Amino acid sequence: MALGASQRLHDGVAAVETMTRFALAVLALASGVYTYLGVRSILDGSPTSVFFAAIIYSASVSVGIYAFWTYMARFYPHVTTHTGRAAMLGVMALGAAMIIAMSSWLNAAALAGSAAETVEDYTADLDQAHQNALAAQSLLPDIQRASERFAQLAASERQSGALTGTTGSGSVVQLLSQMSAQMKELENGINASREQVTTLFNEGQKRLETMRTLVSAPGAIEPRADQFSSEVVALTGVIASLGQTSIAPSIRRAADDLSLGFIAPVADGGDADLVNRQDRVMETVRTSVAAQSKVLSDAADEILARAPVAERRFVPLSSAEAVLRYATDFIPAWSGAISIDLLPGVLVFILAAVHSAIRKQEEKLPFAERITAAELLQALEVRRAVTANGINLGEMGAQAEIESMAEEPNNITSLDPRTRAKDRSHEDR
């Protein structure tokens, strides 16, 4: 039973030997091709020199990978001692690290391709500039309410004398109408600013859309990088314009004018009592305007305290440099690149497991089943040679000598496992 299983494993190893070599060659070639693409993207010089340099480097990588994994597949499965296995594993780890260093990151660059550029930072800058420009819009409801309140008070005073007790368009009505007009003018300025901000933001969105198209488009990176740079310059101008269209400084100055530039008209009442009432109402209006000015000033200061959008300088990156800088964004590319280079290691461990199973099964066989016909014939040849030299050995001594030689493989010429398998087949028949 053990002999049959061992024989089948031997046959399996022999059957996949050609496939193993073919797989190693294909994987090494694939790694070399992607290494060539990655190297070509980072070299500078004439097209001819870049071509030959990339070819030589990629060919060296392919040969190195094929030789390394061939050596490992040939020797590692037959090392049985713990010290030897540990040394071979250390060599395998060192070789794998060197393969990743000289090939895998370039393979990842080739697999990543044009996706090595990003527009996320520029999108964030445009959003921040847009938010800063629109921040003053939050003051619009307060300004509208203040304008409407002054207008309603003026109308009430004109129609029913709600403030002074005397109807008509006197000094109080003029002052309230003046304050309402100033608030209305500030409201119109904010609305005009909103339209300008919207126009600039839409233009920036179009620039970003063009940049995203350039990033995802196929073809050579260099021409698209030049066009991408032009779009970045245009987008930077849009972002700067958004920063200058903020109406917060204008609101801050208008708020100061409401308080510092408050000029109350002279009371024009027909009698002293009416004049006195008008003065008291205008003083109340002055206090209300001062409070409104303080609220608007504080709100404008909060908007002006926001951090401006930092100027960003566009520096084109090659796909290889971008893969290293944005390594976490290219996990699929890294996985594919490393798998191409290190997949032969799985084949090495498979062969090691199979050979280990063969050794364990053969150890369980009795001596009569472990010795092959070829080994027995060699032992008999040794016995005849000893007898021819005049050394008389007893039958028991000769048998012991034969068994000793058969049990010590170093004293008998090593045979290929397939030859031993054929010999066992002859013995079985």
Nearest residue to 8 via CA among 406, 357, 382: 357
pTM of the model: 0.47
Task: State residue 272's pLDDT score.
Answer: 66
Residues 132 and 248 in one domain: yes
Residues 212 and 144 in one domain: yes
Start-to-end C-alpha separation, the chain: 16
Distance CA 332, CA 405 (A): 57
Task: State residue 26's pLDDT score.
Answer: 92
Residues 330 and 219 in one domain: no
Residues 164 and 298 in one domain: yes
Task: State residue 307's pLDDT score.
Answer: 77
Provide CB contacts within 8 A for 344, sequence distance 6+. Answer: 23, 24, 27, 65, 69, 72, 73
Residues 76 and 10 in one domain: yes
Residue that is last in its domain, among 365, 382, 400: 365
For 161-172, b where at least 16 C-beta lie within 10 A, e where not — what string?
A: bebbebeeebbb
Residues 307 and 408 in one domain: no
Task: State residue 134's pLDDT score.
Answer: 79
Residues 275 and 180 in one domain: yes
Residues 217 and 79 in one domain: no
Task: State residue 370's pLDDT score.
Answer: 58
Residues 15 and 81 in one domain: yes
Residues 423 and 360 in one domain: no
CB atoms within 10 A of CB 65: 28
Residue that is last in its domain, among 316, 332, 356: 316
Q: How many domains does the chain have?
A: 3
Per-residue pLDDT of the chain (429 residues; tens, 9 = 90+): 445 566 777 777 888 888 989 999 999 998 888 888 878 777 777 888 888 888 998 999 999 999 999 999 989 988 888 898 899 999 999 998 898 888 877 777 666 554 445 577 788 888 888 888 878 777 788 788 878 887 887 787 777 766 666 666 667 777 777 777 878 888 888 888 888 888 888 998 998 888 888 776 666 666 777 787 788 888 888 888 887 777 777 777 777 776 655 555 555 555 666 667 767 777 777 777 777 778 777 877 888 777 777 777 766 666 656 666 666 666 666 777 788 888 899 989 998 888 888 777 766 655 555 566 676 678 778 878 878 765 554 444 555 555 555 454 444 344 344 444 444 444 444
Task: State residue 114's pLDDT score.
Answer: 47
Residue 329 structure tokens: 């964004």
Residue that is last in its domain, among 282, 316, 350: 316
Residues 271 and 379 in one domain: no
Q: State which residues form the domain around 381.
A: 367-429
Helix 272-304 vs helix 248-260: crossing angle, to nearest 10: 150
Residues 256 and 142 in one domain: yes
